[in-house]
Amino acid sequence: MIKPKLVLNKISYAAFGKVILKELTLTLDEKSIGIIGRNGSGKSTLAKILCGLIDPSKGKLEVHINGKNQSHPNLKIGIVFQNPDHQIIFGTVEEEIGFGLKNLGYSKSEVKKKTALTLQKFDKTNWTNLSTSTLSQGEKQLLCIMSVFAMDPAIIILDEVFSGLDLPTTKALDTYIKNLPQMIIHITHNLSSLEKCNRVIWLDHGKVLLDGSPKSVLKEYSKHMLRKVNL
Amino acid sequence: MEKKIVLVSLFAALIAVLGLAPKVMLASGVPITAQSMGIMLCGTVLGAKRGALAVLLFITLTALGLPLLSGGRGGLGIFASPSVGFIVGFPLAAYVAGLITTKLKMVKIFYSSLLGAIIGGIFVLYIPGIIGMSIILGKSISDTMVIALIYLPGDLIKAFLCATLTQTLFKLRPDDVLSRS
Amino acid sequence: MLALRFPQNTWLERIPTSMKLVLLATATSGIFFVETLGIMVLLFVATCAFQFLLGWQIFKFSLGLLKPLLPFIAIIVVWHLYSGDLSHGALIILRLLLIVTLANIVTCSTKTSEISEIIEKIISPMRVININTQAISISVLIFIRFTPIVLERQKILQLAYRCRSGKRPSWQIIVPLILSVMDDADHVAQSLKSRSTLRE
């Protein structure tokens, strides 16, 4: 299987007169990549550009999946956002997971089968008919991850999915994430979950400040963050 | 595209919530709810077509049984109550309110939405409203108009509030005010 | 979101929905032709007895559903006390209560899915004028999911206002409420876009 690859060539993004991303040039093809940076550094914007939700103001993005350059990467790159309440639309777990599959064009029976398979993979078959409103925040977030996973994307982007979750839930969710077979781009403030990544990129004011092994980048980042900062 | 669909759905939810919020007592002792202001807002903020769609969505689901009409009313019974004419007229009211807000682009949004809210949310709405009420209550149109007058002061306040809100929203989130984008 | 349903299941639920709707339409139109107070009283009592036979819980529940009509009833009472025509007033009030009760009986004894199926059948010819049915079904879902969430947000805003002002807010929280709804729209739309293929 050919590894997926994202090639960014001088990607810039500006909105409402503010420059958010400045001429990012990167090639992303590692299995797990962490992206860190202060709030407002452009991480979420980058995530949305990578999966095709917004277009860059300048520059080119090439998405190579199975060796081919995708023109509409939309459904081949999954993204999970910060707030599960913004993502869950349906009343039951089965319907929620089935939504993306339906949109991919699968038949009713195939949707049912693939949904059951997904729940099995995450060991949550007992969730099938559960009402989504009875799930805890952490469980909702897992559901969002499962719903994206079910669509069999080549890359999954996680945009601060641990927000608002307590430590045990974060750890539990992180275990699931570490077992995902896809290429993962993980944006988070939870530095410990990035320790085993292949590569960590530190984004600051829309530019890459540091880019390299988790050990080196995370150490520098922690040092920097612990210095006194004025609001 | 997705954004427009979501705005329509969320504004429909807003109408429901404005109806479920506690009523405000007018001096005359008649309780008014913010729900009809929600109808006006759908028009002035989302524009004619999408405003009407949001209202239609709200009415259809309430008719299906969700207790979202002010007072916790819902189901087919809403069409048997004296408010039936108003309910049926809601989408039209939103449409006209939106049409006026959009067409009067050259005027400041406060005034165009105020005009839209009054013409759509009051004049246009009261026509089917009074007809419906007169049928259900078995009164003549002129008698019913007297009854409907009780709601007029409240509705005028709501129209004014609606215009103020639309102007504020246009200042803070211009892209989301579909009636002017 | 819970639709209006009777607190207990009844044999009414086994009657086909289309038949219930036809019966309701016929009964409602027929009631408008009744001009005699005596007959109206009989019909009203019969309907009450019918509900009572369905069960005390159901009777109480149905009565509760009529509460929002009190302001209108008050207006009619005042009007007819003033005009002196009390029997006509009673006729109007009973007729109102009767048709609303009948409509409520049908609503509370029918599954939402069955009513929506009928609505779908009525709407389906509209597909000819190119109405985007996928967009409609997604709108319905988002509406149902988000109404409780927006309601919750309104309650929180009310609390936040109260604990800093000591008073209950009315119009003051509407702007933050609508702004939060518009911001939500952004996020939900993007999440939707990332999983679907809606066409313009």
Summarised one tens digit per residue, pLDDT across range B117-156 is 999 999 999 999 999 988 888 888 888 898 888 888 889 9
Confidence (pLDDT) at A133: 80
Q: Give the 3-state secondary structure of residue A162.
A: coil
For the segment C97-115, the average pLDDT, to the nearest whole number, is 84
Region for A52 from its dihedrals, namely left if φ exceeds 0, alpha if ψ lies in -120 to 50, beta otherwise: left
Q: Are A184 and A190 in contact (CB under 8 A)?
A: no
- In the structure encoding, which two tokens stand for residue C3, read together? 């639709």
Neighbours of C89 (CB within 10 A): 22
Mean predicted confidence (pLDDT) in B75-102: 91
Distance, first Cα to last Cα, chain B? 14
Q: How far apart are CA A127 and CA A148, in angstroms?
A: 16
pLDDT tens, position by position, C161-196:
878 777 777 777 888 889 888 888 888 988 888 888
Interface residue B161 vs chain C (CB under 8 A): yes
Alpha helices in B27-140 (DSSP H): 35-46, 48-63, 84-103, 109-118, 125-137
How many whole angstroms separate alpha carbon A28 and alpha carbon A182?
A: 13
Q: Which of residues 95-134 of B touch C (CB under 8 A)?
A: none
A120 neighbors A179 (Cβ within 8 angstroms):
no
Q: Report the interhelical angle of B141-148 vs C70-83 (nearest 10°).
A: 120
d(CA A212, CA A194): 12
Low-confidence ranges of chain A (pLDDT < 70): 1, 72-74, 228, 230-231
The residues, any chain, with a CB within 8 Å of residue A174's CB and separated by 6 or more, are: A162, A190, A193
**Which phi and psi angles does C26 have, rounded to 5°?**
-65, -50
Touching C: A residues 46-65, CB under 8 Å = 48, 51, 53
Distance from CA of A133 to the nearest CA of C (A): 9
Instruction: Report CA-CA distances (Å) from A74 to A51, C192, C196.
Output: 6, 11, 9
Contact B78/B70 with Cβ under 8 angstroms?
Answer: no
Q: Label residue C109 by pLDDT band (50, 70, 90).
A: confident
Q: Degrees (nearest 5) of the Cα angle C179, C182, C184?
A: 110
Tokens standing for residue A49: 């550009």
Kind of pairing between the strands at A155-159 and A183-187? parallel
Q: Do B5 and C200 touch (CB under 8 A)?
A: no
CB nearest C187 (choices: A81, A91, A151): A81
| C111, C2 Cβ separation under 8 angstroms | no
Residue that the structure tokens 């009744």 belong to: C34
- What is the pLDDT, as a whole number, of residue B160? 92
Query: Strand, coil or helix: what is A83?
Result: coil
Structure tokens that stand for C94 in this block: 């009973």
CB contact under 8 A, C191 and A74: no
The size of the A-C interface in CB pairs under 8 A is 48
Q: What pTM does this model have?
A: 0.80
- The gap between the terminal CA atoms of chain A, to the nearest Å, is 48
Confidence band of B24 (pLDDT split at 50, 70, 90): low
Q: What is the mean pLDDT of residues C77-102?
A: 86
Q: Is the pLDDT of residue C199 over 50?
A: no
Which amino acid belongs to residue C48?
C
Chains adjacent to A (≥3 CB pairs closer than 8 angstroms)? C
Determine the pLDDT at residue C148.
85
Residues 6 or more apart from C5 whose CB is under 8 A from it? B65, C108, C109
C90: enclosing H helix or E strand = helix C86-108
